[in-house]
Chains A and B, each alone.
Chain A
Amino acid sequence: MSPTTSIAEAFRQWRIWWWLARRDIRSRYRGSVLGPLWLVATLGILVGGLSIVYGAVFNQPLKTFIPYLTTGFMVWWFVSVSITECCTAFINNSALIRNQPLPIAIYVLQTIARNLIILATNIIVFLAVALFCGLRPSLINLFVIPGLVLVSILLFSVGLCLAIICARFRDIPHLVANLLQVAMLLTPIMFLKSMLGPRAAFADFNPFFHIVDAIRGPLLGQTPSALTWSFLVLTNLFAAAASAWLMRRAGHRVAYLV
């Protein structure tokens, strides 16, 4: 296997993708006064508006509903934006891919790292909300670490597969964006899983529910279910195998395709 298609080599070059991710954030907010604080403002305004309206629609106490919405959207944005941006990770970096013999998986790692930085920035909103709503820190919060690690690695494997597939089939990014939009409305983010009542299976069989809940749950002081953990471990194994296979089979073609 050549260095450009080696996944391990991409991880070893962490300096490059970490730097690229930070540069992306810097250049996105270049010349703006608030800078990355716009992320915080966007989430804050959205959650503020939604919790007033949907809190009334669903008849929910704001003290629990606001933190639920905040964490839900924070994590959903991390997941969905990571996935949509991974679709174009190779296409958008075609100039670099065709001119520098870097391991191509670094562009997927760059995408995930960039969205992790955004997630970390949004923690500010969560902390403010937690303080305002009187959330107490507990040891359960620490489960957010394995949750975040499992979800990030899963996003990397899935993102790498998508990046390769999308380099060849240019309809896929549009399809993925479409599906994610629908998925957001079907996943318990704006509503609670318990509201599904007898149809709770809609959440149990929804991969996005487990992905979101592995990070949201611990932040809210709830331990995610054993089903969520086993789902994440199994999909991680499957996705890692799939991405390694696809990289071996088609990774070397990416430079021709982009």
Chain B
Amino acid sequence: MSAFLKLHEVSVRFRVYGVGSQSLKKKIISFGTGGRLARDAANHFVVQALDNISLELKDGDRLGIIGANGSGKSTLLRTMVGIYRPNEGSVSSQGRIATIIDHSVGLELQATGLENVQARAVLLGVQKADWPTYTERVGDICELGDYLSMPVHTYSSGMMMRLNFALSISIDPDILVLDEWLSVADAAFRNKAAALMEDLVARSRVLIIASHNLELLQRLCNRGIFLKGGALAKEGEMHSVISSYLLGAHELSSVTSR
């Protein structure tokens, strides 16, 4: 069975409630994020988060997603894995999907490290027979040793990050969907983490990663898309997408400096 993930003319809009006052509306519009804002018939705010996106990923595809803040990267990831349902178009996939969008999710501070390992195993659907392997792998990667039997609130933030990273990277999915967050790590761990990511890429058959870390994307991905205002601004080889993204960023900065 080969893994694939296919998006066909996907558009996502959502209503935002509780945005009442006119002045707030103006503030939000002038804030100028990448997504588009409008009002619908019932006078609710509507965010056009994704606009007519088609994509086809199959075994061996490693897709990097770049774009400004608010350009729809996380929305696209959430739509790909089925958290958001598209208003138009369709998403289909085959293979086990694992997703890490917000890396801080799932750590229970009062529980010990090992209890958190178990929690993540349950939530990510690791079979009970595989729990020992999973726990062992997490232990090897995070290198926290005996600290794993201490409550997580006694950890330093760096240790929590290590545990979280280890929890996420130790799963063996067919399709891995990641929002990039390695930039919070210190340099030493970032190198180890990047190596582990490459390892993971070799194991998982489809990788989708959204990131601002262009170096990492260049290293990991063979395909890329550039999102702008929820639409595909550029699609193709990772390096060519990166150069058009950099060109856009350069134009923007020359406009503001003028």
What is the interface of chain A, defined by CB distance below 8 A to chain B?
A: 2-5, 15-16, 19-20, 23, 27, 30-31, 95-102, 168, 252-253, 255-257
Contact = CB atoms under 8 A, between A and B. Distances in A.
A27 B82 contact: no
A16 B101 contact: no
A16 B127 CA distance: 11
Given A23-B119, A256-B15, A99 B108 contact: no
B14 interface: yes
Contacts of B14: 253, 256
Contact of B78 (A5, A16, A30, A98): A98
Contacts of B82: 2-4, 101
Contacts, number: 62
Contacts of A27: 108, 110-111
Nearest to B75: A256
B163 interface: no
Contact of A98 (B17, B83, B97, B119): B83
Given A99-B105, A100-B105, A101-B82, 18 more contacts: A3-B82, A5-B85, A15-B122, A16-B123, A20-B122, A23-B108, A27-B108, A30-B110, A95-B106, A96-B123, A98-B78, A98-B83, A99-B99, A99-B101, A99-B102, A101-B81, A101-B97, A253-B14
A248 to B, nearest CB: 11
A101 B85 contact: no
Contacts of A257: 17
Nearest to B81: A101
Interface in B108-161: 108, 110-111, 119, 122-125, 128
A202 B14 CA distance: 45
Given A27-B111, A100-B99, A101-B99, A255 B122 contact: no
Contacts of A4: 82-83, 85
A51 B123 CA distance: 44
The 3 tightest CB contacts between A and B, nearest first, are A252-B85, A101-B82, A256-B14
A16 B123 CA distance: 6
B85 A2 contact: yes
B102 A98 contact: yes
Contacts of B102: 95, 98-99
**Chain B interface helix/strand/loop/mixed:** loop
Contacts of B123: 16, 96, 100, 102
A31 B109 CA distance: 13
Interface string B72-94: 00000010011111000000000
**Chain A interface helix/strand/loop/mixed:** helix
Nearest to A256: B14
9 contacts: A2-B85, A4-B83, A16-B123, A20-B122, A30-B111, A31-B110, A100-B123, A101-B81, A255-B84
Interface string B183-198: 0000000000000000
B3 to A, nearest CB: 16
A252 B12 CA distance: 12
Contacts of A95: 102, 105-106
Nearest to B151: A30
B222 to A, nearest CB: 25
A19 B83 contact: no
Contacts of A16: 122-123, 125
Contacts of A96: 105-106, 123
Nearest to A251: B85
Contacts of B110: 27, 30-31
Contacts of A98: 78, 83, 101-102
A252 B15 CA distance: 12
B85 A168 contact: no
Nearest to B49: A256
A127 to B, nearest CB: 31
A102 B82 CA distance: 9
B105 A255 contact: no
- Of listed A97, A99, A255, residue having the most chain B CB within 10 A: A99
A2 B93 CA distance: 12
B99 to A, nearest CB: 7
B8 to A, nearest CB: 15
Interface in B46-105: 78, 81-85, 97, 99-102, 105
A27 B119 CA distance: 12
